[in-house]
Amino acid sequence: MKILPLAVALVVIGLSSFSPSLPGTSPSTDSLRYPEEVHLKNIRQLTFGGDNAEAYWSFDGKMVSFQSNYLQWGLACDQIFYTPIDGVDLSVKGSKPQMVSTGKGRTTCAFFFPNNKDILYASTHLGGDDCPRDPGRAPGGKYLWPIYDSYDIFVADINGKQKVRLTATPGYDAEATVSPKGDKIVFTSMRNGDLDLYVMDLKGRKVKQVTNEIGYDGGAFFSPDGKKLVFRASRPKTEEAKKEYLDYLKQGLVAPTEMEIFTVNVDGTDLKQVTNLGKANWAPFYHPAGKKIIFSSNHKSSRGFQFNLYMINEDGTGLEQITYDKVFDSFPMFSPDGKKIIFSSNRNNNGTRDTNLFVADWVE
C-alpha cells in the first residue's frame, strides 16, 4: 500500500527531525528549503501535525487529495481529505479540511477524477468500522506492511457523499491512480493470488492485468501521455526469498525494505527496471516531460531510515538527488502544469515525528 510505509515505521526507530531554521536560510529567504535543493523554491507547508501523505493534485491544479491520521482531527487511523492549495490555513487552531472518506475503517491512496469533483480512494470500511490491526515491527524483526483483504476502491464527491464502489473481488484492491488522459485507472490487486497491477476504466469495467511476475507491484502512476506506468516492485530472486515473500503474503503481509523502480507499457509489454540501487526505492512519479522519474529512496542511508527525493532518466542514467532532509522526504507529485511539486516531509516538525505536506515551485 502507499500509506507512509517506511516513513513512520523507520523514523520511529529513533530519529526525529529538527528545527525549521535550516542552514544558510532565514524566514525571508525560503526557510523551509535546504541550500542544496536547487530545484525547489518558495516551499510552503500545508499541514501541521500527524502523518500526512500521498497528496495528489486535482486535474485543474487547484486542490490536492491526501490521507491523514492527525489525532486533533479525531482520527484513529488514516482517512481521506482534500484541501485547496491556496486560501486555506491549516495551521490555525481548530481548522480542519473536508473529509472525503466515511471515517470508518482505514483508507489509503486517494486521487481526483478528471471532473475535479470526485475522488477515488481505497478503504476497509466494509470490513468493519474500526481501524484494522497494524502488525508494526517486532523487536529485531522485519518491518511489515499489512495487505488488508478488506480494501476495496470507492468513489466519493469532495463533500464526502459516497457514490460508487469500483472493486468487489475478494482480497486486496487499492493504490489506485487516474491517467492524465482521464480514461483509465491503475491499481494493485491480489485477485490472482499475487500483488500485481491492473487497469480499468473510470467505471470499474474493462479490467485488464498488466504485470504478472512474482513480487509486490504497487504505487503505480501513468506517464504524462498515458501510455506507460511507473511503479515500485519487489522481485525476490532466490527460492528462499520467494518462499518468504509468499509465506508473508498468505498472512496478508509484505516486507517492503527491498524495492526498485520499474516502467511498463499499459498493455503489459516492455517491462523495464529503472533503478538498481538497493534498499527501498519507491513513490515514483514522472517528470512532466515524460523522460525522467522522481522517486524516494534510502539507498544512501547507512542505517536505512533517511529518505530523500531523487530524479533519474527512464533508462536508469543521470541519477540526481533533489531533497536533503535528515529524516524523510517522499510522495512527490508534479502539478498538471509542471510548475509546482508537492511532497511529504519530516522537515520543520519541531522534533516530533509528524510528517507534513509541502508545496514548492519547481525549478528546472
DSSP 129-168: SSPPPP--B-TTS-B-EE--TT-EEEEEETT--EEEE---
Q: What is the pLDDT of residue 263?
A: 98
Question: Is the pLDDT higher at 30 or at 273?
Answer: 273
3-state secondary structure of 307: strand
- Which residue intervals of 212-281 are DSSP H helices? 239-250
pLDDT of residue 139: 62
Mean pLDDT for 199-210 is 98
Is the distance from CB of 279 to CB of 258 less than 8 angstroms? Answer: yes
The domains of the chain are located at 5-362
Q: Is the pLDDT of residue 14 over 50?
A: no
Residue 1 binned pLDDT confidence (cut-offs 50, 70, 90): low
Q: Does domain 5-362 have CATH number 3.40.50.2000?
A: no
pLDDT of residue 29: 60
Q: Which class for 91: exposed (0-12), middle (13-18), buried (19 or more C-beta within 10 A)?
A: exposed
With a cut of 70, say whether residue 70 has pLDDT above it. yes
Check residue 141 and give its pLDDT: 74
Q: Where are the alpha helices (DSSP H) in the chain?
A: 5-11, 239-250
Beta strands across the sheet bearing 272-273? 217-222, 228-233, 260-265, 272-273
Kindly tell me if the per-residue pLDDT of 86 is higher than 70.
yes
| pLDDT range class, residue 304, cuts 50, 70, 90 | confident
pLDDT at 28 over 50: no
Question: What pLDDT does 134 receive?
Answer: 84
> 143-175: per-residue pLDDT in tens?
889 999 999 999 999 999 999 999 999 999 999
On the question of pLDDT at 364 being above 60, the answer is: yes
Position 138 scores a pLDDT of: 62
Q: What is the pLDDT of residues 232-269, one digit of tens each?
A: 999 999 999 999 999 999 999 999 889 999 999 999 99
pLDDT of residue 135: 80
pLDDT of residue 13: 34
Q: Is pLDDT of 327 > 80?
A: yes
Give the per-residue pLDDT at 305.
80
- The rounded distance, in Å, linking the Cα atoms of 53 and 65 is 9
5: confidence class by pLDDT, cuts 50, 70, 90: very low
- What is the percent of the chain where pLDDT is above 90? 86
DSSP code at position 171: S
For all residues of the chain together, what is the average pLDDT? 92
pLDDT of the residue at 162: 97
How much is the pLDDT for 2? Answer: 45
pLDDT digits over 104-121, tens only?
A: 999 999 999 999 999 999
The owner of cell 468500522 is 129
pLDDT of residue 23: 39
Q: What percent of the chain has pLDDT over 70?
A: 91
